[in-house]
Amino acid sequence: MAVRKSQSKRSGKPTQFTTLRVRLYPTPEQAELFEKTFGCCRYIWNRMLADQQRFYNETGAFFIPTPAKYKTGAPFLKEVDNQALIQEHNKLSQAFRVFFKDPEHFGHPNFKRKKTDRDSFTACNHVFESGPTIYTTRDGIRMTKAGIVKAKFSRRPQAWWKLKRVTVDKTRTGRYYCCILYEYAEKEPVPVIPMEDTTVGLKYSMRHFYVDSDGTMADPSQWKKQSQERLAKIQRSLNRMQPGSKNYQEAVQKFYRLHEHIANQRRDYIHKESRRIANAWDAVCVRADEMNELNKITSLGNVCDSGYGMFRECLRYKLARQGKQLLIVDRRFPSTRTCSACGRVMPEEISTRRRTWACPHCGAVLKREANAAQNIKTQGLAQYFEMQERRESA
């Protein structure tokens, strides 16, 4: 299934397109009609193209005659769905449009041959007062001329999807398929109001990727550590080799492959982890750490490499799709040196070497990272409610 996004011109609401590909089981009569339609589409395409070229050679002007012009000379065209013929006209016009725009990339439209070109036709759905011309039934698709063709759906279309058009094609192995294009308005998610116990705070952690306000640590570390060690090993051996030698070339290839492998693992992890968090919580609070600054202070590993920026971005849109929010706290907020138990702010930064510290005012013993995550959460929620209040009073 493919999803395309676009802005609807009429309502201004974002619309999406999606396609379902279904296998068709036509009766022998319906199959014969399909074959005729394929043939007529090829015929009309070639006639229109030939006349366009002749017209261009004679007058120097661009013009494609409409399919209706050919019907008297070729009455068999009346046997098939007229919509399919009109679509050939649209496709040919479109082929010329892209050709004129970018001739090198698209090439001049060619004549179609039965042997080399794929058998297919397209028909648009028209909704009349009496109903649509194309629609799906429980186990079939109703088309103009063919009637209901038996079909096997792997997925059902949703009730609010609008059927735009269908494309029927035949594979080299003689199977018929139908691609159904649907359009639908994107639904606005209902805003979710975060609560104390449905909100989580995340603190970026060099060692654990992140630590949350409950003290839970993310741990992508196992594969990450292993891969990184292997990477370092190849890098060391590269330093010893003669650049340009065969061994060197092989090691470079190995290095690239491993790099790619690590990047894939990281992307996988980030998508899964952000999905899990976005589903489990109503709001997520993070600090707007500057990635450049984090880079400067790190000696243990590269922050950009750890993918925390990508992780935050994934969180943001995965939450937004559910009407939830990523609450971002100012990067100057002293998350680490604030005591989450009594709220007092210490005058000095807590060393990153210390895993725990005790508040001199209330005596609470705090885990450095979990305490910071808790403060980020408290601050994020406070910011959220402050903003809501301001909005209501305005």
Q: How far apart are CA 136 and CA 153, in angstroms?
A: 10
Which residue, among 378, 385, 375, has the nearest Cα to 203 in the 3D structure? Answer: 375
**3 φ/ψ sector (left φ>0, alpha ψ -120 to 50, else beta):** beta
| Residue 60 vs 360, nearer CB to Zn ion | 360
Candidates 362, 365, 382, 387; binder of Zn ion (CB under 5 A) is: 362
| Residue 20 vs 339, nearer CB to Zn ion | 339
As given in the structure block, the two tokens for residue 226 are 């292993």
Q: Kindly state the smallest distance separating residue 364's Cβ from Zn ion, in Å.
A: 5
Helices (H), the chain: 28-59, 82-101, 103-106, 221-240, 246-280, 291-297, 303-306, 308-320, 368-393
Question: How distant is the alpha carbon of residue 91 from its chain centre?
Answer: 27
| Residue 232 vs 358, nearer CB to Zn ion | 358
Q: How far apart are CA 74 and CA 214, in angstroms?
A: 76
Q: Name the one range near Zn ion by CB under 5 A: 65-73, 119-127, 257-265, 354-362.
A: 354-362
Q: What type of residue is 376?
A: I
As given in the structure block, the two tokens for residue 329 are 């706290």
For residue 187, the 8-state DSSP code is P
Q: How far apart are CA 317 and CA 320, in angstroms?
A: 5
| Residue 61 vs 345, nearer CB to Zn ion | 345
Q: Kindly state the smallest distance separating residue 209's Cβ from Zn ion, in Å.
A: 27
Q: Kindly state the smallest distance separating residue 375's Cβ from Zn ion, in Å.
A: 11
Which residue, among 305, 304, 328, has the nearest Cα to 315 in the 3D structure? Answer: 328
Candidates 124, 217, 341, 350; binder of Zn ion (CB under 5 A) is: 341
Q: Kindly state the smallest distance separating residue 363's Cβ from Zn ion, in Å.
A: 7
Q: Name the one range near Zn ion by CB under 5 A: 15-23, 163-171, 326-334, 357-365.
A: 357-365
From residue 123, how far is each of 26, 70, 95, 128 by CA, in Å? Answer: 17, 19, 17, 15
- Contacts of Zn ion in 320-339 (CB under 5 A): 339
Q: Kindly state the smallest distance separating residue 376's Cβ from Zn ion, in Å.
A: 17
| Residue 231 vs 341, nearer CB to Zn ion | 341
- Contacts of Zn ion in 134-173 (CB under 5 A): none
Q: Is 372 in the site for Zn ion (CB under 5 A)?
A: no
Q: How far apart are CA 93 and CA 97, in angstroms?
A: 6
Candidates 2, 232, 297, 342; binder of Zn ion (CB under 5 A) is: 342
Query: What sign does the dihedral 247-251-252-257 (CA atoms) show?
Result: positive
Site string for Zn ion, 178-217 (x = CB under 5 A): ----------------------------------------
Q: Is 365 in the site for Zn ion (CB under 5 A)?
A: no
- Total binding residues for Zn ion by CB under 5 A? 7
Candidates 277, 359, 372, 376; binder of Zn ion (CB under 5 A) is: 359
- Contacts of Zn ion in 272-311 (CB under 5 A): none
| Residue 312 vs 368, nearer CB to Zn ion | 368
| Residue 152 vs 361, nearer CB to Zn ion | 361
| Residue 88 vs 369, nearer CB to Zn ion | 369
| Residue 14 vs 363, nearer CB to Zn ion | 363
7: three-class secondary structure by DSSP:
strand
Q: Is 350 in the site for Zn ion (CB under 5 A)?
A: no
27 close to 151: Cβ distance less than 8 angstroms:
no
Q: Kindly state the smallest distance separating residue 365's Cβ from Zn ion, in Å.
A: 10
Q: How far apart are CA 367 and CA 20, in angstroms?
A: 52
Q: Which residues bind Zn ion (CB under 5 A)?
A: 339, 341-342, 359, 361-362, 364
